[in-house]
Amino acid sequence: MCSGDEACRSPAQAVRLSVCIVTYNNAATIADCLRATQKACEGIAAEIIIVDNASADGTAEVVRRHRPAVRFIAEPVNHGFGAGCNIALGRATGEYVLFLNPDTVPAPHSISRMLAYASQHAELGFVGPRLLGKDGELEKHVRSFPTFRTALHQHTILGSLGLFGKTYSEYRCRNFDYTRSAQVEQISGAAMLGRRETVRRLGGFDERFFMYYEEVDLCRRMKQEGVPIVYLPEAVIQHMGGVSGEPVLRLVLRERLCSLMRFFSKHEGRRRTRLFKAVFLPGLLARLALHLPKDLLRSLRYFATGDKRRRILKLRQARAKTWLLLWDWTKVLMAE
């Protein structure tokens, strides 16, 4: 007998693919994502599972309009992205799972191409698509794993002084050819397709990462297990990206850095990471202090040219950096 929200299926109707989407205040994007995903899944025995992390903008109402085609799980609190993915993974019944961001728009045949590739390579961990930004430009998302040196270049005043530039370029895979498929160290968490049992065997996402670096950590664990990850350019998905609102921007800045410190503590060791913070945090604060006047001056320039959108963005960035400079850096210091 079947129970809960799982439908009774004969062996011929067994689910081939479970599409797992975690939402949080995505009312503006989720409808387009669902329409495109359903179209891209035509011809595939697929299920779509959405876990909503206590959205307050009407996301749940938008998703419910797509039932019963979508299995909807409403969480009372925001558990974070990785935890939401694990909830969806626990409900998934497909042989394969696709973790998909709610601000993506899969092109026709994109999902079937990823699924076909994964089916032909049983040893595969994840396969990721070519991502295009909202303007249609290529999103260069392939990376190697972050190191202390890449973090110092990206986030501290040492990068402004030109230190560790070569190491950072290697981390960003500047010379990667996005027209050819290749094994890579990590792909974007916006769209990752893999065998369900492989992801479960590795323990799913580490829920200590509230947001950011949870997919980097999982890719790192796959690498340690010798499980390959592949970039597949024949599959194309548009990634709208971006955040809006100053409170969200503050959260993004803080959580990105906190998750980076947790990643280092896990993979480089707590003692080494604590020593690293002694250099990183002063360099971070110095960079923030250096860039604040630049953001304010750019905002004034956009005010003079009448570019309201960019002026507001720069003001929000300046306020968010001020908040991080004056207070939230302590959370980065304590993150492990």
What average pLDDT score do residues 295-311 get? 73
Q: Virtual CA dihedral for 164, 165, 170, 173, nearest 10 degrees?
A: 150
pLDDT of residue 253: 86
Res. 13 pLDDT band, cuts 50 70 90: low
Q: What is the pLDDT of residues 187-228, one digit of tens each?
A: 999 999 999 999 999 999 999 999 999 999 999 999 999 999
Among 64-78, 129-143, 289-303, name the one with the lowest average pLDDT. 289-303
**Bigger pLDDT: 304 or 263?**
263
What average pLDDT score do residues 87-106 get? 97
Are 159 and 153 in contact by the 8 Å Cβ rule? The answer is yes
CB neighbour list of residue 232: distance below 8 Å, 6 or more residues apart: 113, 114, 117, 127, 128, 129, 130, 181
What average pLDDT score do residues 9-33 get? 85
pLDDT of residue 87: 98
pLDDT of residue 41: 96
Q: Strand 70-75 vs strand 46-53: parallel, antiparallel, or unpaired? A: parallel
State yes or no: pLDDT of 260 exceeds 50: yes
Residue 132 main-chain phi, psi, to 5 deg: -115, 140
Res. 242 pLDDT band, cuts 50 70 90: low
What average pLDDT score do residues 24-47 get? 95
State yes or no: pLDDT of 11 exceeds 50: no
CB neighbour list of residue 270: distance below 8 Å, 6 or more residues apart: 336
pLDDT of residue 309: 75
CATH domain 11-142+178-239 topology: Spore Coat Polysaccharide Biosynthesis Protein SpsA; Chain A (3.90.550)
What average pLDDT score do residues 109-122 get? 97
Res. 5 pLDDT band, cuts 50 70 90: very low
Res. 329 pLDDT band, cuts 50 70 90: confident
pLDDT of residue 218: 98
**Bigger pLDDT: 253 or 124?**
124
CB neighbour list of residue 73: distance below 8 Å, 6 or more residues apart: 49, 50, 51, 52, 87, 88, 91
Query: Is omega for the bond preceding 102 within 30 degrees of 0, making it cis?
Result: no
Q: Virtual CA dihedral for 156, 186, 92, 121, nearest 10 degrees?
A: 180
Distance CA 93, CA 121 (A): 20
Q: Strand 104-106 vs strand 96-100: parallel, antiparallel, or unpaired? A: unpaired
Res. 247 pLDDT band, cuts 50 70 90: low
What is the total residue count of the chain?
Answer: 336
3-state secondary structure of 85: helix
pTM above 0.85, yes or no: yes
**pLDDT above 90 as % of the chain:** 75
